[in-house]
Amino acid sequence: MRVLCIGECMVEFARRGDGLWQQGFAGDSLNVAWALRALLPPEARVDYLTRVGTDALSDEMVAMLAAAGIGTAHVGRDPDRSLGLYTIRTDAAGERSFAYWRSDSAARHLAADAAALGAALAGADLVFVSGITLAILPAGDRERLLQALGPRHGRAFRLAFDPNLRPRLWEDGATAARTIARAAALADILLPTQADEAAAFGDRTAAATLARYAGHGVPETVVKDGLRPTLWRLGAARGQHPVAPVRRVVDTTGAGDAFDGAYLAARLSGAGPGAAVALAQRVAARVVETRGALLPAQALREAAGG
């Protein structure tokens, strides 16, 4: 089994309680790859496709991926650019706020080389892409990536897509909506968040989002809806699962990404969608109880085991 996650990993500076800043690495697609690597069997391969610089900080990030068991063969090097950077603050309720410096990130050119992109996709069983990945790419590279992913019935791998809508990253709302709808029509597994979908498409409920994406022909959809039950649909079957209780919200960063990774790991391991949602809810609950987006692998496995 081989999984490929495509996106941007950035330098993260998180404000600590003592006023100092703690440096790490994170990003939505990397957070998904991290959970997949922790929860899939050791013999499964989890690779990451991105582009970084040739500086020491880029070297540290690549070393971190390799140490976690995430494949780095498709991490390209850019001599003229480096990593994007963001700062994160959390309030007393665990909600976070961000500031970004990523306009010249090397990852914005991760789809510039068609041959490298094709080589990364070759032999994959599942590919994960997010709306953030699509949003940061120049228009021509975005088109190249969508073309490389190809139609649902004409490729060897399954495509999992989280729209992860961040309006400020897109040229305009119309481009965002059009591109997200197009990518969703390619996907085998869709993992939207209701609040994002309501803002971008006007869906009043998670059920409306589920129905709208069914209209795109998506075989499998899971709608994350905050504290409300998570809705899922697989073909004609559908169901819902209450959100796992959280003892104390410390930091909500990366919870949705961990949910995505845990859900996909469970489905790849043979779980049905209802059981996979339940497992993913447990993992997401554990993430929000801990500071930072990346939990140690053992903690993720303990949460998944319930």
Q: Assign residue 97 the CATH number of its domain.
A: 3.40.1190.20
Looking up tokens 């998570």, which residue turns up? 230
pLDDT of residue 94: 56
Looking up tokens 């104390």, which residue turns up? 248
**DSSP-based three-state secondary structure for 282:** helix
How far, in Å, CA of 112 to CA of 61, rounded? 21
Residue 2 resides in a domain: no
How far, in Å, CA of 207 to CA of 187, rounded? 19
CB atoms within 10 A of CB 141: 19
Catalytic residue among 162, 225, 257, 260: 257
Q: Please choose, from the candidates 58, 2, 5, the residue with its C-alpha nearest in 3D space to the C-alpha of residue 31.
A: 5
- φ and ψ at residue 266, rounded to 5 degrees: -65, -45
Q: How many domains does the chain have?
A: 1
Length of the chain measured in residues: 306
pLDDT of residue 162: 98
211 lies in which domain range?
A: 7-305
257 catalytic residue (yes or no)? yes
136 contacts 102 by C-beta, under 8 angstroms: yes
Residue 49 resides in a domain: yes
Residue 148 resides in a domain: yes
Residue 57 resides in a domain: yes
Residue 1 resides in a domain: no
pLDDT of residue 306: 55
**DSSP-based three-state secondary structure for 263:** helix
Spell out, as residue ranges, where the chain has pLDDT lower than 50.
none
Residue 136 tokens read as 């940061």
